[in-house]
A and B are shown apart, each in its own frame.
Chain A
Amino acid sequence: MARPRARQTLLILGLETSCDETAAAVITRSGEIRANIVSSQAELHAKYGGVVPEVASRRHLELVTPVIGEALAGADAQLDDVELVAVTTGPGLIGALLVGVAAAKAIAWARRLPLAPVDHLHGHVASLYLEPDPLEPPFLCLLASGGHTLLLDVRERGSRPRTLGTTIDDAAGEAFDKGARLLGLGYPGGAAIDRLAREGDPQAFDFPVARVPGVDFSFSGVKTALLYAVRTLAADELERRRADLAASYQRAIVRALVVRTREAAEQIGAEKIAVVGGVAANSELRAALGDATLAPLALCTDNAAMIASAARFVEPVPYPGYLGLDAYASTA
């Protein structure tokens, strides 16, 4: 017999499995987070130095329903309290996305709930619309993560915004990961470099970042510069100067991000700047863009609260329109 329950605010259940985090969240219509569960696979992928799609997909299947159960329990909610299911349908690793999409469709179908398909990048931006400090568009948004480096012109909350600039090679987070590998640090590399950089001199090495036209980014050059620097140093010297290398490398990447972000803001006359995505957790970037709105740390890396948040601003698909819904790897 179910215990008597007070009538709850209707809730949104969000699901995110586009890369290497299996995540579920429960939020309210007004954007209040009731539970935000992220089961990171970082350790699993650490031995490969990066995300292995098949390994990630297998792990998502193991974690997807336990994570949903944890989110519901954390919100002290039941599926009866859920009025909308939201799920990332792309872009991302197709096999990984499909695990979340299948589970979300099944839950929505079984409960005759509507389903909101959410674009992962729109989700990152929508992390800014959550309580307690929701940001009101228009603003310029830097989305920097292991998979993306984008400058977005955000005019309204309802859809994925217009792209002003993007990386022509590596993503910023990828540059951190690759740099960390060159320096013999762990995966994911962003946090490792950030930590080590605090002990180093950011001016010790000059790592220039290529200037590409417009407000696009290129990080392959700085990575190559680091590679040469590492190769040139003798083993003991390298050990001694590892912190300097990390600090200089981080400085180069952060400077490129900051310069381009400011240029883009000027270009569209944006009065507000926001930073989201895993790289937004970087302490030097946070300091350098102190005037910007920075996503809270827990919402920087991939999570499902941001997916549920985006769902508040997209048209949900009513039953049975979503039963044939598929995932997409890229928007191109």
Chain B
Amino acid sequence: MLILAFDTATDVATSALVDGGEVLGERASRAATLLEDVDALLRQAGTQTRDVDALAVGIGPGSFTGVRIGLSTARGLALALGIPVAGVSTLDALEAGAPDALPVIDARRHEVFVPGRVLAPADVDVDRGRLCVGSGAVRYRDLLAAKGADIPPDTDERHIPRARFHAALARDFGPAEQVEPLYLRVPDADKTHS
């Protein structure tokens, strides 16, 4: 099965083309140029858009706009190609790339996303020597390191949710509209109205 996978939830947009577990190509850029990467991946692999069997897309958490760019792209592709989609948590993809690590994604406004929640970096629970990866781990390196966290150098690829892991983790392919974003935070305006 040829899977096109991508994730635009964080500042580094990733994409990968994976055929039956074999990674044919992998790229990274920004959300705005995601389709340039995807186009290049297919060209390099000598495949056509109609050869793609399914999509695996990162559903966040991360930048709300970034998450939506990925999901809207997936929905447009699914509609145009008639293929199913599976959503994969961006945190899960990070964890798959760094087994036993705690994935920490920058949530802006001095908060971070960790599995299941959004909280202040100071409130992240880390044991001494625990590996922490992700944009949040990079941004709050000093604070987390002071708690004893082990954080790879900024350029380490384990900080990036590489799309090969989305392809590997993808399960339950189905209609694109059923793949929902993982925001983990309500819109500002709703805080005073609900």
Contact = CB atoms under 8 A, between A and B. Distances in A.
B68 A106 contact: no
A35 B146 CA distance: 60
Interface residues of B, number: 32
Interface of A: 47-48, 52, 54-55, 57-58, 60-62, 64-66, 68-69, 79, 94-95, 98-100, 102-107, 109-112, 320, 323-326
A325 B81 CA distance: 21
Interface of B: 32-33, 35-36, 38-39, 49, 64-65, 68-81, 176-177, 181, 183, 187-190, 193
A89 to B, nearest CB: 11
A223 to B, nearest CB: 22
Nearest to A325: B32
B36 A104 contact: no
Contacts, number: 105
A105 B71 CA distance: 13
Interface of A is mostly: helix
A26 B183 CA distance: 32
A64 B193 contact: no
Contacts of A105: 35, 73, 76
B65 A64 contact: no
A61 B39 contact: no
27 contacts: A47-B193, A52-B188, A54-B64, A54-B189, A55-B189, A58-B64, A58-B68, A65-B176, A68-B79, A79-B79, A79-B80, A95-B65, A98-B69, A99-B68, A102-B72, A103-B75, A104-B76, A106-B35, A106-B72, A106-B74, A106-B75, A110-B77, A110-B80, A110-B81, A112-B49, A320-B39, A323-B33
A113 B106 CA distance: 36
